[in-house]
Structure 1
Amino acid sequence: MTESLPEFPNDVADGDVVDPDELATDLVVVTGLSGGGRSTVARALENVGFYVVDNLPQALMLDMAQLAFQAGGAARRTAMVLDVRSRAFSTDLAGAVRALKERGFSPRVVFVDADDEVLIRRFESVRRSHPLQGDGRLADGIAAERKLLEEAREQADVIIDTSHLNVNQLRRRVEELFGGEDVRRLRITVLSFGFKYGLPPDADYVLDARFLPNPFWVPELRDHTGLEEAVSKYVLDQEGADRFVSTYAGLVASTAPGFEREGKRYLTVAVGCTGGKHRSVAIAEELTAQLRDMRLAAHASHRDLGRE
């Protein structure tokens, strides 16, 4: 038996006002000029946890908001992207937003804009015509769209002029507005592995701990793992181990801000030894601890532990 979705409050009639606290749904409506950066805004909203519906017909905005409320969970943060490619697009975006507010929702409208000259260069660079251009020039299509979206721009809560923003700068701007600090932080996975099982394909850094003596050859340690204190102490007490960990902790910490600026949200630091049981596990745990001491969001994972 499948679990049914909770019903939209049945004591609310069409047009009645609902307490926004009862509808704890975070709605963002994204519109603006073609070529202005709507797709980049949509991807940035996805990065910060929004469920994004692209090219949504304007007539379905209220239905989509109600579905988001009913679904709960991640759908409670929903972004609806509207543009003139939708056959149902009309100029009354303000009316559609007003209808949402009358049902208790609090949508935030984001309008992306750019100078005409910039929009023309962007369309020419990808060799695409404007959706409203018809048989005319690019400038004619842009002018027609500006006229169509004039009221929507006036009613917007946030206007983002992308004329002088690159993709990364626009993404950061959206994350600053809607993400919160925790969402924008780089998340680091320190992954131990065994070289004999192959390199992790998603590794950004690969560290080789095989220069350290192998606890496998110590009878009393062979059957234990790097998660246990005796093995960990044996590994970390070896000459060069402490400097190895601290050097790479410093490297990761120094590059983390750059990765964040470039939009990378997940970084994998792979630490390998022969079988992924002793040295790599102990090193990964210690490296994770040092990264956390540096206020980085790091956690350890052990891919091959238990395979031997």
Structure 2
Amino acid sequence: MNNATRNPDQIPPTIVLVTGPSGAGRSTAINALEDLGYEIIDNLPLSLLPRLLDGPPPSRPLALGLDVRNRDFGTNALIETIDQLAGRTDQHAQVLYLDAEEAALVRRYSETRRRHPLAPAGSPMAGIARERELLVPIRARADVLIDTTDLSPHDLKAEIEQWFGTAEGRQLGVTIHSFSYKRGLPRGMDIVMDCRFLRNPHWVEELRSLDGRDAAVAAYVSEDPRFNPFFERIKSLADLLLPAHQDEGKAHLSIGFGCTGGQHRSVCVAERLASALAQDGWPVSKRHREMERHDLHVPRSKEQPD
């Protein structure tokens, strides 16, 4: 959840201070800003920041990664830095704060088995609680607050592009998703299409253990007499909507295709549309959610049809 709504005509900042509790996605945000053309300086001691800002003006926007690992990090010092930047007329600065629920931070530390910087010899939970308390005044000063609890790295990158990318000269990014309706819709879909009316490869024994990227599965699905009219209309709709969304300053569009199991039909259509849009020159990425969750080389039972 964000604490503000961006105006599409808003001028992106020349300096972004990126901070938040460890494990909330600061590194992912830094990488996304670098992809947008920002110069990145991570863990710069706050005492050196005035010297950096008083030097020659940067040739491109600057993103500074700041957290408790900084050598002279302190709440009061960072607030003072924010106040100093706010008073400058030669720089436009914003504070980007990445946050997440405590349970999500604990889970991420458990999954990576990393030690928390504020509790190197103890439980990550103790370090997380201490750090969140330390950062409360900084969180209150954030210009952009992004809660990453339910965001994948891809979702977070899309959020960063929406907030800090420039509309001029940037092409709309498109992500094509496949998914299973049994597990619900993926988060953040802009457009969703149902593929469950197409012929189902699950009921063909030699195709059951394959997925929609396989040529045999794609051929089987595309032989459905309804496939070509369906796909042609989807492609025509994309040809209309993508330029329109780009003209409105939108940075990213997510299109989802669902079927029962998320293995055959939705994957096939998603692959076909992603390929067609890439050939047209759109930056396209693909996410096959159920294949990211399971090993689809293991044949599935007849009780779990696609």
TM-score for the superposition, normalised by structure 2? 0.51
Q: Distance in 2 between matches of 1:34 and 1:25?
A: 24
Q: 1:183: which partner in 2?
A: 170
Following superposition, the deviation at residue 101 of structure 1 comes to 2.4
| Residues 1:71 and 1:103: Cα distance change in structure 2 (over 3 Å) | closer
Matches within 5 A, 1:27-46: 27-46=15-34
- Answer yes or no: is 1:139 the counterpart of 2:104: no
Displacement after TM superposition at 1:72 (Å): 3.6
Q: Structure 2 stretches of 5 or more lacking a match?
A: 1-11, 175-231, 243-251, 255-275, 284-306
Q: Is the 8 A contact 1:62 1:99 kept in 2?
A: no
Q: 1:117 to 1:88 in 2, by over 3 A?
A: same
Deviation at 1:129, TM superposition (A): 1.0
Decide whether aligned partners of structure 1 residues 25 and 135 sit closer, same or farther in structure 2, where only a CA change above 3 A counts.
Answer: closer
Give CA deviations for 1:98-157 in whole Å, capped at 9, x if unaligned: 112233233100111101111011111111111001433211100110121111001111
1:172–1:137 CA distance, 2 compared to 1 (3 A): same
Q: Is 1:87 equivalent to 2:87 in the alignment?
A: no
Q: Normalised by the size of structure 1, how large is the TM-score?
A: 0.51
2:104 corresponding residue in structure 1: 118
Taking the aligned partners of 2:123 and 2:29, their CA distance within structure 1 comes to 27
Partner SS, residue 69 of structure 2: coil
Give 1:95's aligned amino acid. E
SS at match of 1:163: coil
Report the Cα distance in structure 2 between the residues aligned to 1:140 and 1:149, rounded to whole angstroms: 15
Structure 1 residues 157-236: aligned runs within 5 Å: 157-181=143-167, 182-185=169-172
| 106 and 186 in structure 1: CA distance in 2 versus 1, 3 angstrom threshold | closer
Q: Secondary structure at the match of 2:72?
A: coil
Q: Could you tell me which residue of structure 2 aligns to residue 55 of structure 1?
A: 43
Structure 1: distance between partners of 2:144 and 2:173: 26
In structure 2, relative to structure 1, the CA distance for the partners of 1:150 and 1:186 (3 Å cut) is closer
* Pair 1:103–1:126, CA change in 2 (3 A): same
Asked if the contact 1:113–1:160 (Cα under 8 Å) also holds between the matched residues in 2, the reply is yes
Q: Distance in 2 between matches of 1:100 and 1:110?
A: 14
Q: Indicate the residue corresponding to 2:268 in structure 1.
A: none
Shift of 1:71: 4.2
Question: What amino acid is aligned across from residue 65 of structure 1 in structure 2?
Answer: L
Equivalent pair of 1:48/1:183 in contact (CA under 8 Å): no
Distance 1:172 1:25, change over 3 A: closer
- Equivalent residue letter for 1:58: L
Q: Does 1:65 align with 2:53?
A: yes
Q: 1:138 to 1:72 in 2, by over 3 A?
A: closer
2: CA distance, partners of 1:103 / 1:138: 38
Change in 2 beyond 3 A, CA 1:261/1:130: farther
- In structure 2, C-alpha distance between the alignment counterparts of 1:131 and 1:167, rounded to whole Å: 22
SS at match of 1:112: strand
Deviations 1:8-29 (CA, angstroms, capped at 9, x unpaired)? xxxxxxxxxxxxxxxx971110
Tell me the distance in 2 between the aligned counterparts of 1:83 and 1:65: 19
For the residue of structure 2 that corresponds to 1:183, the secondary structure is: coil
Q: Distance in 1 between matches of 2:57 and 2:114?
A: 38
Deviation string, structure 1 residues 46-74 (Cα, Å, up to 9, x no partner): 1111111111112222322333xx24422
**8 Å CA contact retained: 1:42, 1:81:** yes
1: distance between equivalents of 2:106 and 2:253? 28
Aligned residues: 176
CA distance in 1, matches of 2:68, 2:111: 21
1:59–1:88 CA contact under 8 A, matched in 2: yes
Contact conserved, 1:112 with 1:161, CA < 8 A, in 2? yes
Instruction: Supply the distance in 2 between the matched residues of 1:138 and 1:72 (Cα, whole angstroms).
Output: 38
1:79 CA displacement: 0.7
